[in-house]
Amino acid sequence: MSVNQGRMDSFMYVSKPHADILPGVSDLSGGTMARSLADMILALGFPEEEAARVEQLNGKATEDMLTEEEEAELEAYIITNKLLTYWQSRAHQTLPQPV
């Protein structure tokens, strides 16, 4: 066992909310996002089938009828949507603002 492994065994992992971590790894203050990349990010979104699935899962969640698998699936959609929303916000910030 390595020295680092011993430290990891005694380390208690506490997850940090995605919103707290993301700004630190995606700081664009030193530069800007290319227009083409910003446009591509802004064009991203869930396909209709996926959006319909999210609505279905939300309905079941409201009725407290989600299975564990469905709960994990909905959580994955929520995290993906938060990430997408964040990157689209960053993309909007890098584009020239209308005068």
2 belongs to a structural domain: no
Prediction pTM value: 0.66
pLDDT at position 19: 58
**H runs (alpha helix) in the chain:** 3-10, 18-25, 35-43, 48-62, 68-94
Stretch 68-94: mean pLDDT, rounded?
A: 90
Task: Take residue 35 and report the two structure tokens written for it.
Answer: 């227009």
pLDDT digits (tens, 9 = 90+) for 1-50: 344 444 444 444 445 566 566 566 555 555 677 888 889 999 999 999 99
Task: Take residue 33 and report the two structure tokens written for it.
Answer: 């996002």
In which domain, by residue range, is 61 found?
19-94
64 belongs to a structural domain: yes
28 belongs to a structural domain: yes
